[in-house]
Every structure is written in C-alpha cells, then in structure tokens.
Chain A
Amino acid sequence: AQKITQTQPGMFVQEKEAVTLDCTYDTSDPSYGLFWYKQPSSGEMIFLIYQGSYDQQNATEGRYSLNFQKARKSANLVISASQLGDSAMYFCAMSLDTGRRALTFGSGTRLQVQP
C-alpha cells in the first residue's frame, strides 16, 4: 500500500519569500503520480501541480514547482514569491498508474504567510 508523509504540521514564511513544503512517499509500484492540493479556510480542494513517476523534468506551474527526487522518494512543493493568499493547508497526494486511481493524501502542512 502506498503512503504519504508530510512532517511539517505548520510553516511560516514572509511575504515575497520562497518556501518549501516537504513530502515523502512510499510505494513499490513503478508507475505513480504525485499531486499537491491547496485547501484554503473556505474548504475547497484546489489542484496545484502534478508529477508523473516517469517524467524526467520537475513539474512547474506558475509560482509552484515540484522538486521530484525519485531515489529519495520525495516530492517537495516549492512556492516562490509567497503571497498572503497562499496561506492555507497544503496536501501532498499520490495515486498509482497515471492518476486515475484513488488518491492517498498526507496529513497536510498549514502554511501562514506573514506580511
């Protein structure tokens, strides 16, 4: 069974600085997808970024990038130039195959951006 570990329950960052949210995963399956979702206080789940296990390059989406280190089984999210609106819970998740399988979520990291 797959497992996602997020060891940072809470993080603080100053506005305009970069922040890295840690995520490690465990699976014996060679084909998987890694995801990051943002959950603001309003409760919705917002997709941020996806990395496939066979992708050679790290995924990027605007200010979000995923630092994928396959040998270390880590998939850290980097947010550059933090904004106040980035304050939220961030969940790392994975699914087997390409992402159509069930998502397994980590416990989340609460990010607070300070002015």
Chain B
Amino acid sequence: EPEVTQTPSHQVTQMGQEVILRCVPISNHLYFYWYRQILGQKVEFLVSFYNNEISEKSEIFDDQFSVERPDGSNFTLKIRSTKLEDSAMYFCASVLNYEQYFGPGTRLTVT
C-alpha cells in the first residue's frame, strides 16, 4: 500500500539554526500539507500546497517557515531560525480526493 514517508524521524537542533524537514507524498496525490503537534496537544495545521504554490496557511506559518516542492517527489518544510517553541512533531500529509494520508512524522527538538 502506498504511504507518505518523512525524513528524518528525529532531528535535534540548536536555537537559531535552520532545519529542513523532508516528505515524499503518495505519488498520484495532488494536495500536500504540513501539520505540527506540540507534545500533549492537538494537531495544528501549518500550510497546504497545490499546483506548486501555497493554497492555505495558518497564523503559525510566519516568515520563518517556507515550503518547496523541489522536484516531482519531495515536499519540504524549512524553518529558517528555530526557536525553542518550534519543538514539536511535524507531520506531512497528502490527499487525492478527501482522505488525508499522514506520514509518520519528524520529531523536532530545539535546544
């Protein structure tokens, strides 16, 4: 069964550093998303991407964040200058019709 993959599974970084989280969505899916989940809290939407551009973004997705689809398979989330409060699980998701398939997540720890 096709699945969304994410790398790395865990990333530790120092405050102020840039991080890039990578996702490979399911191949025939057209819509891509990033969500985050701070430990013990609910899942929050960050950004959605369709047809090579951002289609929706939340208030969380400020100038420190950017997304790219550099080639036909990868979908990346970049955080330019990480803060302690960026520590969270980051999920990538993709959808064809309505069911959003989530990847296993990247746990980002900012120290």
Question: Considering the chains assembled together, what is the distance between the CA atoms of A83 and B89 in angstroms?
Answer: 27
- Check if A104 sits within 8 Å of B45, measured CB to CB: yes
Question: Considering the chains assembled together, what is the distance between the CA atoms of A57 and B81 in angstroms?
Answer: 48
Query: A10-18, A22-30, A41-49: which lies at the B interface?
Result: A41-49
- Check if B99 sits within 8 Å of A103, measured CB to CB: no
Sort chain A's interface into a size bin.
Answer: 20 to 34
In the complex, whether A68 has a CB less than 8 A from a CB of chain B is: no
Query: Chain B nearest CB: distance from A82 CB in Å?
Result: 23
In the complex, whether B102 has a CB less than 8 A from a CB of chain A is: yes
In the complex, whether B52 has a CB less than 8 A from a CB of chain A is: no
- Check if A44 sits within 8 Å of B105, measured CB to CB: yes
| Chain B residues with CB below 8 A from A45, complex form | 43, 91, 93, 102, 105
Q: Which of A50, A102, A108 contacts B98 (CB 8 A)?
A: A50
- Check if A101 sits within 8 Å of B99, measured CB to CB: no
- Check if A91 sits within 8 Å of B43, measured CB to CB: yes
B39-59 vs A: 1/0 string, CB under 8 Å?
Answer: 001111100101000001010
Question: Considering the chains assembled together, what is the distance between the CA atoms of A87 and B50 in angstroms?
Answer: 35
Question: Considering the chains assembled together, what is the distance between the CA atoms of A93 and B45 in angstroms?
Answer: 11
| Chain B residues with CB below 8 A from A105, complex form | 42-44
Q: Which of A44, A52, A95, A102 contacts B102 (CB 8 A)?
A: A44
